[in-house]
Amino acid sequence: MKEADKMRAGQHYDPSDKELIKMRAAARLLTEKFNQTSIIKLKKRTRILKSLLGECGKNAYIEPSFNCDYGSNIYIGKNFFANFGLVILDVAEVRIGNNCFIAPQVGIYTATHPIDEQERNQRICYAKPIYIGDSCWIGGHATINPGVTLGNNVIVASGAVVTKSFGNNVIIAGNPAKIIRQIG
């Protein structure tokens, strides 16, 4: 099995594999191009995003700077807005629904490492997918950790560290994040 296939399957893989290095380099070049494209060239920026991401819904907008590992594992819905400094480590799939807003300096991380010291020191990696439902709002400096699923209409407070999944219609805050209020 190729390292890229292992990576996508959530198995331990070697990130120094030549194919994976080439894929990350291609994503870095596209994000560099995106981040350096003028705000007045919105159509060009949108084309770059569409070529980088696995899926990019209508009216999707990301402020530079934006960084990701591969891009091809990111699927965003329509009417998406991300403010400055978004980082998505998309070693596994990241799916973000429609009408979602992301504040500045948010990190969405699918990548993780073994707890076992010897495995970790061998640079072994693996990943867990992240799913974010429709109409979510993620506050500034929030962190979404590997394997998290957020339901629809979830508000993540600024600075929250989301380590587990949450259902629909909640406001979550803290480190680790917990429900502070139901919505509706």
Catalytic residues: 113
> Which amino acid, residue 63?
E
State how far the Cα of 162 lies from the Cα of 150, in Å rounded to an integer.
9
State how far the Cα of 86 lies from the Cα of 99, in Å rounded to an integer.
17
Q: Measured in whole angstroms, how far is the alpha carbon of residue 159 from the centre of its chain?
A: 16
Q: Give the closest residue to 142 by CA, choosing from 179, 103, 170.
A: 103
